[in-house]
Amino acid sequence: MPYAAFRSIGAYVPQKILTNEDLSKMVDTSDEWITKRTGIKERHIAAEDEFTSDLGVKAAQKAIERSGIALEDIDMVVCATISPDYFCMPSTATIISTKLGIKNVTAFDISAACTGFVYALAIAKAFIESGMKKNVLIVGAEKLSAITDYTDRGTCILFGDGAGAAIISATQDKEEAIIDVHTGADGEYADLLMTPNGGSGSVHDSLDTEARSCFMQMKGNETFKVAVRTLTKDVKDILQHNNIKSEDIKHFVPHQANYRIIKAVGDALKMTPEQVVLTVHKYGNTSGASIPMAINDLYESGELEAGEMMLLDAFGGGLTWGSALVPFAPLK
Ligand code: ACO
């Protein structure tokens, strides 16, 4: 049976930076409030003519180049996004494949909000282990600024744009294999975090709510509590299930939603500050892109070496959650 190996990582952030100071001129907030409640200092914002697929392509180009795998050997592209170029079709994954020049490919998007990259990892692993695919490009790409309400201080301070990508490949070497990926969801909490408009379930009360319902809405405080509770349990489960202890993890890479959530979960798992990867201060919450962007930061700073064990965990709209035990396995 083939195993799935995490071969390479790449990321891209758009040039424009939106600081807390900038936001305090747009809504009733302050750098102090945002920093204290979230840990975020700034986030990147894509240009008007720069789409989610463009961000994904730039991240993917780096991941492909670093993987040592030829473009023509990539046989599947999965894009995790809640801000696709087009809401119904075509999928952002098909646009990314075409812009990259990948032919004869299976390409599709998945919608699991901030857990999207972990879901994409689970899909890549399953396709590879079943023998159906050999080299899968997974992309987490978000232009969240396109679905953010910049009059709502409860959400607009949180989100940023960016993309991350990874190549997952078949291997016969069990030492290189992704150990496990857990994914979960519970639609009972759907109303905590949603974009009410744009689908077959849309109901409009007035023109004003109709316009605003295209944007993300969140019950932040309730989301926060469910996130800490669910993530702590999920991560404890995956470690226990695989007989791995917190100290065996070299890099704990949580979804970068809020410093306080990351700290609470890290503390519950007895992770040291050296183990916890933090990028939320400079990118904000980039949803499905946040985990691969954080792994890329680790890689580019020279801190991610072959064989080192990463523990990924994510939580997002749906609600959805997931975790993964992933050794970094570049081609030798
Ligand atoms: N600036 C100043 N005051 C604010 C702001 C702001 N930007 N936003 C809210 N407030 C006010 C509120 O109005 C409230 O005022 P009140 O007490 O007079 O009513 C007060 O601050 C406290 O509001 P809370 O919502 O209770 O603040 P909280 O401490 O919960 O922080 C936050 C809000 C940062 C949104 C937090 O709840 C959070 O991070 N939640 C989780 C987000 C998350 O993880 N989302 C999941 C992933 S996202 C995805 O899937 C796309």
Please report the domains of the chain, with CATH numbers, ordered by start residue.
1-332 (3.40.47.10)
C-alpha 54 – ligand 1 centre gap (Å): 31
Q: How far is the CA of 37 from the centre of ligand 1 (A)?
A: 7
| Among the listed residues 215, 73, 106, the one whose alpha carbon sits nearest the alpha carbon of residue 152 | 215
Question: Cβ contacts of residue 110 below 8 Å, gap of 6+?
Answer: 78, 79, 80, 116, 119, 120, 123
Return d(Cα 173, Cα 181) in angstroms, integer.
Answer: 18
Give the pLDDT confidence of 44-97 residue by residue, as tens digits: 999 999 999 999 999 999 999 999 999 999 999 999 999 999 988 999 999 999
pTM for the model stands at: 0.94
Instruction: State how beta strands 76-80 and 135-143 pair.
Output: parallel
Residue whose Cα lies nearest atom 2 of ligand 1: it is 29
**Side chain identity at residue 3, one-letter code:** Y
Residues lining ligand 1, CB < 6 A?
A: 29, 33, 37-38, 113-114, 153-154, 157, 193, 220-221, 223-224, 227, 257-258, 261, 285, 287, 315-317
> Which atom of ligand 1 sits closest to the CA of residue 153?
7
Q: Which two tokens stand for residue 112?
A: 């699991």
Q: How far apart are CA 251 and CA 116, in angstroms?
A: 20
- pLDDT by position in tens, the chain (length 332): 899 999 999 999 999 999 999 999 999 999 999 999 999 999 999 999 999 999 999 999 999 999 999 999 999 999 999 999 998 899 999 999 999 999 999 999 999 999 999 999 999 999 999 999 999 999 999 999 999 999 999 999 999 999 999 999 999 999 999 999 999 999 999 999 998 877 777 655 554 566 667 888 899 999 999 999 999 999 999 999 999 999 999 999 999 999 999 999 999 999 999 999 999 999 999 999 999 999 999 999 999 999 999 999 999 999 999 999 999 999 97
Residue 191 alpha carbon to ligand 1 centre in Å: 16
pLDDT at 201: 73
Between CA 244 and CA 251, with CA 245 as vertex, the angle to 5 degrees is: 95
The separation between the first and the last C-alpha atoms of the chain, rounded to the nearest angstrom, is 21
Residue 190 dihedral angles phi and psi, to the nearest 5°:
-55, -35
CA dihedral 137, 265, 142, 319 (to 10 degrees): 100
The two structure tokens encoding residue 72: 């023509």
pLDDT per residue over 171-212, tens digit each? 999 999 999 999 999 999 999 999 887 777 765 555 456 666
pLDDT at 214: 81
Alpha-carbon span 175 to 252, nearest angstrom: 19
Contact of 283 with 13, CB cutoff 8 Å: yes
Residues marked active site are found at 114, 255, 285
Tokens of 15: 């040039």
45 Rama sector, left if φ>0, alpha if ψ -120 to 50, beta otherwise = beta
- Centre of ligand 1 to C-alpha 328, Å, is 35
AA letter at 310: M
**Ligand 1 atom nearest residue 144's Cα:** 51
pLDDT at 200: 74
